């Protein structure tokens, strides 16, 4: 049974699966990014995460609990979530500016990256999303190799920070 306090987030997750069925992964991924950007506008400019040297990381993904609850409730990550991740990965493969793409371990990384990126942009920073992971058994690690290279880091350096948290990113002051 869904606890009353979890009903809205779970309804949102079910809505994502239904949206993929109705309009496909492209429009659904656009909507998730727009939601992240709109949420950022309500929070204003800012940089999030714990600084470590010249990178930042989040110890815990603020959205991961919802995916974990959803998986607990429904038994596994829905095929529609995988469809969005696959669509974004294929889109990234065709993108000439891969450094701009999120390191997407789950569908909510798309929304959260748009949120983080918009807040940083309002504060005068560019954001590079280097890596992310999801706290679900069997979930893959996601890397943006081009962003790691632009940040001047090695994958090993990023992995060391990723051991402490859910995602790693770098903010670069715009000139």
pLDDT tens-place string over residues 15-28:
888 999 999 999 99
* 78 band by pLDDT with thresholds 50, 70 and 90: confident
Task: Count the residues in the chain.
Answer: 175
Q: What is the pLDDT of residue 86?
A: 83
Nearest to 70 by CA among 6, 117, 132: 6
Q: Average pLDDT, stretch 124-128?
A: 95
Q: Is 92 exposed, middle or buried (0-12, 13-18, 19+ CB in 10 A)?
A: middle
Q: Say how many C-beta atoms besides its own lie within 10 A of residue 23's C-beta.
A: 12
Residues 105 and 127: their CA atoms lie apart, in Å, by 17
* 90 band by pLDDT with thresholds 50, 70 and 90: confident
List C-alpha distances in Å: 29 to 23, 84, 154: 10, 7, 29
Q: What is the pLDDT of residue 77?
A: 66
pLDDT above 70 as % of the chain: 88
More confident position, 120 or 133: 120
In this prediction the pTM is 0.86
């Amino acid at each position: 049974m869904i606890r009353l306090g979890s009903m809205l987030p779970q309804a949102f997750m079910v809505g994502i699966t239904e949206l993929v069925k109705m309009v496909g992964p492209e429009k659904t991924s656009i909507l998730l990014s727009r939601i992240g950007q709109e949420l950022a506008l309500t929070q204003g400019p800012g940089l999030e995460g714990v600084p470590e040297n010249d990178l930042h990381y989040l110890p815990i993904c603020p959205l991961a609990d919802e995916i974990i609850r959803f998986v607990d409730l429904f038994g596994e990550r829905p095929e529609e979530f995988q469809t969005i991740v696959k669509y974004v990965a294929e889109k990234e493969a065709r993108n000439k500016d891969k450094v701009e793409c999120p390191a997407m371990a789950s569908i909510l990384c798309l929304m959260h990256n748009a949120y983080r990126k918009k807040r940083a942009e309002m504060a005068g920073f560019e954001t590079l999303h280097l890596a992310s992971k999801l706290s679900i058994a069997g979930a893959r690690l996601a890397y943006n190799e081009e962003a790691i290279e632009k940040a001047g880091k090695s994958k090993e350096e990023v992995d060391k920070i990723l051991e402490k948290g859910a995602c790693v990113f770098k903010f670069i002051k715009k000139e």
